[in-house]
Structure 1
Amino acid sequence: MTREDLARDELIRALQAAAARDPDVIALLLGGSLGAGGGDRWSDVDTILVTPPDRHAAVVQGLQAWVSAIARPVLWRQTFPPHPLFMAVLPGWLRLDVTVTIPGHVTGARDRVRALYDPQDLIGGLPATYPPREPDPRKIASLVEEFLRIIGLLPVAMGRDEPVLAVTGVTLLRGLLQDLLVEAQAPPAPMGALSLSRLLPAEDVALLAALPIPRADWNEILEANRRYAIEFLSRARALAARSGAPWPTALEAEAAKRLARDAGLDASAILPRGI
């Protein structure tokens, strides 16, 4: 067991003890990879704190102080305001996430969550496992639209001679391709942001590793746009057909015209059709 594992285990025990003596805490559950019985020395501590409905607002308001009584954070942030999801970095670079919820709103599955403090057995009311799911057509449609929107901005960067910003555009396309590859796997539960190789097939990881991040050079930038478009759109078309996601034909056509009209580019080289 590494020093990091020991420190993290001490944090989990301290959270467990704090929950057990706090009358505002109905349950404290461990989620994420550790809650699922996996994880490694790099895994953070994902927790779900369950509180009575009439105390929820007060618990959210006082959560930073509650955590600080265990270990004072060097970073504290509400992840998605106004939702009660918080992230903290503690001394030793221990990472802690806390979601505050109420009974009846606890989500998860018994094979993905472990009870740290649960005298009412809230975990017993969860499904045994997450049900399998298919790729989400709304998510796929959104990814395709955003990909076409970003690639349609390439002429703006070219017209203003902003190759550095155009490189940023390529990294956005890369992120969208990665999201598409993840959605194609239809993970039943949310995955950690730093656990890509645990979810994607080896060939998808190899694809991402092989695709270029260009320098601020227009020839490299154009080639990168072409390669990402080929890989993204070929997969997106197949996934849209599989899931029933609508294809933004008009947006795709306008993007192609934009590239040809405003950048003098052969749109078929950037947006290959029929692949």
Structure 2
Amino acid sequence: MGGIDVIDPRYTAVFARAQQVLGDDHRVRSVGPGGSVGAGTADRWSDLDLAIATEPEHHQDFIADWPNWLRRITPTVFARTPIAPFIINTVTDQGLTLDVVVHSGEVPIYRPPAGYAVGFASSRYETVAAALEYAVAEQLRGLAGPFISLIQREEHLRHLTGVPHVIGLLTTVFLAETGEQQPGKTWNSTYTEEQRQLVAALPAARATREDMIAFGLAVARLIVERARPLFADHDLEWPADLAQVTAGRLRDQLGLDTTDWLR
């Protein structure tokens, strides 16, 4: 992996044009590559991020003027600021994705956030043990509540929107198994071949009652069975009471017997 030399060569001309246009702009202190290109971790499938530092007294004016200076750099078929006013997402007329981040004064040094993000949790966890404990409890809570409710309401399309969350719970368990840090943009080197094959073998998550039950139980079983021995390793107490109540709810509400693994 590397920098701009390894990505689509058409980005080189776009970057050169950005340096030319913005280098002549008195509001700009510096312009350089950001993201994976700037970090030297890009591969052939990476896009180009521009990191721009403005003179602080001209920062707001420069941001407000972004359609004009962007137009001078490259024609686009899409250009929006949906995330924040200082982040510009674009697609050029050549089909290149160019993202621009504008900073006041200087470009900060990027430091990955500490700790572990788990699924859709709003907070990060300082240790993998804390992340693991949350992942298991959240999986059991979800089985006892939303899983049953969505199945019974036949809300299978809505149910599908939660798939990334439960996969996030599962990958947290995988991290606890391997001791790896949470991955960034690329995941394959973080998770083992066996772990990735387990996910590949999960039933398809489709918007039907049968498929959502099969997928949901398969993910939950992986989480429970892989996590249980890890709790002792991390001096955690297994939530047996919650597991028992969850198994009872699945039996009473959906007629599902999970007692061979959910206990």
Aligned letter for 1:22?
Answer: D
- Asked if structure 1 preserves the Cα contact closer than 8 Å seen for 2:52 and 2:107, the reply is no
Match of 2:121 in 1: none
CA deviation map 1:136-189 (0-9, x unaligned): 5269376556545544312122222344444444454235434765796325xx
Cα distance in 2 between the residues matched to 1:177 and 1:98: 33
Match of 2:216 in 1: 225
- Asked if structure 1 preserves the Cα contact closer than 8 Å seen for 2:205 and 2:211, the reply is yes
1:70 to 70, 73, 85: 73
What's the offset of the Cα at 1:55? 2.2
Match of 1:125 in 2: none
Match of 2:91 in 1: 89
* Structure 1 residue ranges (4+ consecutive) displaced by more than 6 angstroms after TM superposition: 237-254
Cα distance in 1 between the residues matched to 2:219 and 2:209: 15
What's the offset of the Cα at 1:228? 0.7
Higher relative contact order (CA 8 A, sep 6+): 1
1:45-56 to structure 2, matched below 5 A, reads: 45-56=48-59
Cα distance in 2 between the residues matched to 1:104 and 1:70: 21
Structure 1 vs Structure 2 CA RMSD: 4.0
Structure 2 unaligned spans of 5+: 117-123
Residue 240 to residue 81, structure 1, CA distance change in 2 (3 Å): farther
Aligned letter for 2:22?
Answer: A
1:22 matched to 2:25? yes
What's the offset of the Cα at 1:15? 1.5
CA deviation map 1:70-98 (0-9, x unaligned): 1132222324336x323211122111122
- Asked if structure 1 preserves the Cα contact closer than 8 Å seen for 2:88 and 2:100, the reply is yes
Q: Which deviates further from its counterpart, 252-261 or 242-251? A: 242-251
Match of 1:98 in 2: 100
Cα distance in 2 between the residues matched to 1:94 and 1:236: 42
Residue 238 to residue 11, structure 1, CA distance change in 2 (3 Å): farther
Aligned letter for 2:148?
Answer: P
Cα distance in 1 between the residues matched to 2:154 and 2:26: 61
1:7 matched to 2:10? yes
Match of 2:262 in 1: 272
What's the TM-score once normalised by structure 2's chain length?
Answer: 0.70
Match of 1:205 in 2: 196
Match of 1:122 in 2: none
Cα distance in 2 between the residues matched to 1:146 and 1:65: 48
What's the offset of the Cα at 1:44? 0.7
Match of 2:151 in 1: 158
Match of 2:60 in 1: 57
- Asked if structure 1 preserves the Cα contact closer than 8 Å seen for 2:135 and 2:169, the reply is yes
- Asked if structure 1 preserves the Cα contact closer than 8 Å seen for 2:89 and 2:100, the reply is yes
Cα distance in 1 between the residues matched to 2:223 and 2:79: 36
What's the offset of the Cα at 1:265? 3.5
Counting aligned pairs with the same residue, the percent is 28
CA deviation map 1:235-263 (0-9, x unaligned): 66677888899998887677556434543
Aligned letter for 1:103?
Answer: G
What's the offset of the Cα at 1:45? 0.5
1:196 to 187, 192, 196: 187
- Asked if structure 2 preserves the Cα contact closer than 8 Å seen for 1:150 and 1:173, the reply is no
Structure 1 unaligned spans of 5+: 110-129
SS in structure 2 opposite 1:221?
helix
Match of 1:185 in 2: 180
Length, aligned pairs only: 245
